[in-house]
Amino acid sequence: MKVAKVSAPAAELADPAAAVWRGVPSESVSLAPVPLAAQPTEYIRQAWANKAYGRTSEAMVAAASDGQRLYLRLEWEDDEKPNGEFQDAVAGVFPADGDAPLATLGDANKPLAVWYWEPGRAGPLNLTARGPGVFHKDNSAALSANGALNERRWSVVISGPAAAAKAGKVGVAVWNGSNEERAGLAAVSRDWLKLELA
């Protein structure tokens, strides 16, 4: 997927509804649940042994850059159930180190960089992932995000330093709040999406 080179103002690029995004081609990525066996604690494996999660099957990804920042536009369909204690969330993920495994959101030796967004938090989180839910908050990268829910479709733009695109690939993870999904209980893209800087 090409990272569209765009010279629109940052405020426009940050808005998932902005007209500039209509000119940026998006690709569909197929998602699958993070395997139960990979969940990092016995409690999670026990509690979710008979509960389905990560059933969001698809997300749309578009990427643009103004030279300074990389803007990821992510879109996916929410279910009709209302959220209770947990919120919907999404993340764009990049390999921090070569061939980190995507299906488990990294592992102990091969981490992922995660740009994580959830409504209700003060802002997006820059995380290092060393496995499903094995997340560490990293304050170094300045991320921004905006999201909106329209007729059960979320559209979110998360932006960060353009250098993230140098990894050459990106993945997506989605959490369904109404199903109490969080940590490693996510739907993750089955394959990396190649990022080509235009």
Partner 1 sequence: MPTATRQIAWVYDLNKCIGCQTCSVACKVLWTRDEDEKHEWWMSVNTQPGLGTPKNWENMGGGIDAKTGKPKPGHQPTRGEFGGGFDFNYHEVFYGGTGGKAHLEPQAPREDRWAMNWDEDQGAGEWPNSYYFYLPRMCNHCTNPGCVDACPTGALSKGEFGLVLRDEDVCMGDRFCMEVCPYKKIYFNYERHVAQQCIGCFPRIEAGVAPACVRQCPGRAVFVGYLDEEGSPVYNLVRKWKIALPLKGEAGTGPNVFYVPPLSPYKLKDDMSIDYETPRIPPEYLESLFGPLVHQALTTLKSEMDTVRNGGSSEMMKTLIAYKWQELLGPFTVDPAGIEQVGSAAGG
Binding site for partner 1 (CB under 8 A): 39-44, 46-47, 84-85, 120-121, 131-137, 180, 182-184
Least Å from the CB of residue 80 to partner 1: 20
CB of 9 to partner 1, least distance (A): 31
Cα-to-chain-centroid distance, residue 89? 8
For partner 1, which is the closer residue by CB, 85 or 99? Answer: 85
Q: How far is the C-alpha of 185 from the C-alpha of 44, rounded, in Å?
A: 9
CB of 43 to partner 1, least distance (A): 4
- Contacts by 112-115, CB closer than 8 A, 24 or more apart: 112/171, 113/141, 113/164, 113/167, 114/173, 115/72, 115/91, 115/143, 115/145, 115/158, 115/160, 115/164
Residue closer to partner 1 by CB (options 74, 134) is 134
CB of 44 to partner 1, least distance (A): 6
156 sits in which H/E element? strand 153-161
Query: What's the CA gap between 127 and 39, in Å, rounded?
Result: 18
Closer residue to partner 1 in complex, CB, 24/40? 40
Question: Residue 150: what residue type?
Answer: N
Shortest distance, position 47 Cβ to partner 1, whole Å: 4
**Residue where the block lists tokens 């999404």:** 90
Choice between 95 and 133, CB closer to partner 1: 133
- Distance in angstroms (rounded) separating the CA atoms of residues 91 and 102: 12
| Residue whose CB is less far from partner 1, 19 or 108 | 108
- 171: closest CA among 63, 44, 16? 63
